[in-house]
Structure 1
């Protein structure tokens, strides 16, 4: 099990604008209830009567956060990044919900930047530009001008992305100075966790993606409908990572919702029950959990401290033929069958090139193919082969027919799990992330926010 530097189901604590307005408006609870409640506890009677507009989401997408203005243009440009990352069309209702979430994210981002500045935590423009250049290197072959043009073309801007980078760097640096030094994980805690890992050897662990939406009781149906819309968009081809980054109210939003490798015992019972039945690549949700709803995506699955056959490195040869234009399905089937029969006469990988040349087939070799990188439908089949054996032919009229021959296989070594130092670092990071959520919650509570 690899160490994963991210938190486990740490929730962002949100209070709806409508709830705050009701509290500020003097809607006091009955005296008997107030007397029974501990000091400071919020008491809401069962027979709530709403005075005025009870929809907290009807407001314009601009705000002033402790004097800093978030404009409609800021929201539009950040929203454009999400729309560009999404492969499918976004409906009007979905766009409205997305705008509201973008505004909330911008408010949090503003609070984080303000707190860093107030604490004399500096992020230079050069550091922001360097991170921006790294993004360009990953996506535009080190061409920042090409990324500038792309952002403008989709309706965003370089400044919008650079502001997001500044927010992430500011918050990370602030936590490193104000939170991390005060986190202490004892040797006993680490050793206890190592013992648990060894005891769990051979049990299943899951790599999950999550999108978490918090919901107050009065907003439960609205949030459920919102989550259902997200699921629908994802099933139509939307980017899970993009939706998680902008919609999810869990701290894993920063890493596209990726929870890393976890065991079911680490999940809330409602999610563990669902995850146990999921297949790799499956999306499930919305799932009601305490405080809101979850959407789960199973990225992968393996066994704790056990070698995964899919990590085997294979040496393969791909033999292929193409079909002349105008070939019918029946003709293609006959030729594919004859092709497979001929390739089976080859005496292993050393002979297949000669046999392929005799029928005009092309051969491509690769000795560094990980089994897990192959399409799921052929992974198990190819792992059952011995050197010199082939898979059944596959292909199409357009692409021709291909046959894979296994030439060799290096099996993976059993995973010994994280070292003491790796596990200690992971536990420290998890605890820092929990404190970070409390920190951000306090910033929200004390913020002066005006909506326009």
Structure 2
């Protein structure tokens, strides 16, 4: 994505977020306490700034509430860091800012700060966000790093459960519910209720009622899929399900997904592993309007391959067509989930997105191809590092819950 397109997108997201937070802040002084955490204060200004930053990062749900929760946690995490004498240095923060900018194809920190400033976010807000992540990571490593050991047997089991000599296929049903900032709380309540259903019939009824996915009319039922087709981030969750089990709600960009396991089987064919997913997204203005859906059906009838989309995009604005080939882990969850259901040159019209000016658009998503991974041997150290990080994350979450229990938190 070109920097000027990043700027346009961020400005649109910031405008949306400002509309959500202005009412909440109007009756308050910007620097008065929004939350008191022990003996530390979070101001309304800090919450507003973090909410803007989260909107730029496409965080799902209510960015104001999420900002508030993050800042509460960071006050507690700072308390832990101060206790053991951990403080991020300026060099580390600058490296973190550079890494943050690279996610939006902005290599120069000063250019990044300029983009953020035009979207209403001060540079100190980003630096505080980066500093908090660095210090908390150092705290967790200092307290628990020595206790996290991964055995060779555990690595073997992890390899076998994901990409071993035999493949694993899963038979899932899905429910994908759209989320907007205005509906986030209601959708979360519905998703939590669906996660408690006990029968396939109840799950399928919920899919027909709530799901946005193309599978809704079939009760959310998917065909057999190789586990390696699913988004990297949700494979462990799916593999942990037994027949009839329903997953916890999974956050996607602008949606929440819930899965039911209908079946799981091993095959003699090794599970394919992919180094890159090549896909295209053609945006049709209007979102899921009847007109946009009709245009999408006509487009599907005219194109046979991803290359045909270039002809459709001639003389259209640059942001109407996106095509890229990226590592599977870099594909956004919602897009990855749709691509998992497609074969080469098949199309999905389930998702919505936004144009560069922030207006809604229907996403015509087309799978161009999957590039098989060339290396046959799995890097055992990569697997070991992943297992160590998962275990550290578990320790971190438990410690944070302990800190919350030990401190008085007052939301104004």
> What's the TM-score once normalised by structure 2's chain length?
0.48
- Structure with higher RCO (Cα < 8 A, 6+ apart): 1
